[in-house]
Amino acid sequence: MPKTPWSATSQNLGQDFHNWSGGLRFRPSRLEVPEDEETVAALVRAAARQGRSIRPVGSAHSSSEIYVTDDILVSMADICGLREHDPQHHRAMVGAGSQLTELSKELQAAGMTLSNFGDVATQTVGGAIGTGTHGSGRDFPNLSMMLLGGR
Ligand SMILES: Cc1cc2nc3c(=O)[nH]c(=O)nc-3n(C[C@H](O)[C@H](O)[C@H](O)COP(=O)(O)OP(=O)(O)OC[C@H]3O[C@@H](n4cnc5c(N)ncnc54)[C@H](O)[C@@H]3O)c2cc1C
């Protein structure tokens, strides 16, 4: 999956992290880009043992400092993609780091779609759900209303 230039990736390790607009800049002590759920769980357990803090980040489209940290930043960029889908019951299991644009293409190929988007579709599923990102239209609920469950 292509990553946005402002996403935290292994390529920009050791550099200042900046959000999409450049308005937020900071340098985490460590950047992790886990590729699977087990690695995320191991990171959280290790940080808890060591009394360290972890901040997840999606596409860094939030303008407030909610992912700013001088400790461990965890990019969810590689926890992505359509894992399972059931068009008949309008259900899909996806990685929380999936960007909505890319996810839409995968869903479309599977005969499905998301019912709504925000102004842009660069957000990740986890970021959009975590912040109550809303789409357009008076009668559509926000994106987190699509969530049936999560891990
Ligand atoms: C140009 C632009 C247009 C926008 N349009 C809209 C709009 O139309 N409607 C609207 O409601 N909002 C809009 N927003 C706001 C945007 O949708 C939210 O800021 C959203 O959170 C961005 O998602 P993200 O993946 O970038 O999350 P981030 O900004 O990276 O993270 C947001 C929060 O979620 C947490 N998080 C991220 N991923 C995970 C995860 N996998 N697990 C747990 N926590 C996680 C982060 O720690 C942080 O606290 C817009 C923003 C921009 C820059």
Picking from 25, 7, 5, the residue whose alpha carbon sits closest to that of residue 16 is 25
Determine which residue's CA is closest to atom 1 belonging to ligand 1.
Answer: 120
Q: What confidence score (pLDDT) does residue 54 get?
A: 96
Pocket test for ligand 1, best of 57, 71, 80, 140 (most atoms within 8 A of CB): 57
* CA 11/CA 118 separation, integer angstroms: 28
Nearest atom within ligand 1 for CA of residue 133: 11
Radius of gyration of the chain (CA): 16
* CA 37/CA 43 separation, integer angstroms: 10
* CA 120/CA 130 separation, integer angstroms: 16
* CA 78/CA 131 separation, integer angstroms: 20
Structure letter (DSSP) for residue 11: G
CA dihedral defined by 81, 83, 86, 89, rounded to 10 degrees?
A: -70
- All CATH 3.30.43.10 domain ranges of the chain, comma separated, are 10-75
The domain defined by 10-75 folds into 3.30.43
**Protein residues with CB under 6 Å of any ligand 1 atom:** 20, 55-62, 66-67, 76, 96-97, 118-120, 123-124, 126-128, 130-131, 133-134
Q: What confidence score (pLDDT) does residue 5 get?
A: 40
Q: Give the count of alpha carbons within 13 A of 95, CB side only.
A: 23
Q: What confidence score (pLDDT) does residue 14 get?
A: 62
Mean pLDDT by 10 residues, the chain (151 residues): 45 71 88 93 97 95 93 93 96 97 96 92 95 91 94 89
Bridge partners for 57 per DSSP: 75
What are residue 107's phi and psi, to 5 degrees? -65, -40
Q: Which two tokens stand for residue 49?
A: 């043992």
Please, are residues 97 and 80 in contact by the beta-carbon 8 Å criterion?
Answer: yes
Q: What confidence score (pLDDT) does residue 16 get?
A: 81
Determine which residue's CA is closest to atom 37 belonging to ligand 1.
Answer: 127
Q: What confidence score (pLDDT) does residue 74 get?
A: 93
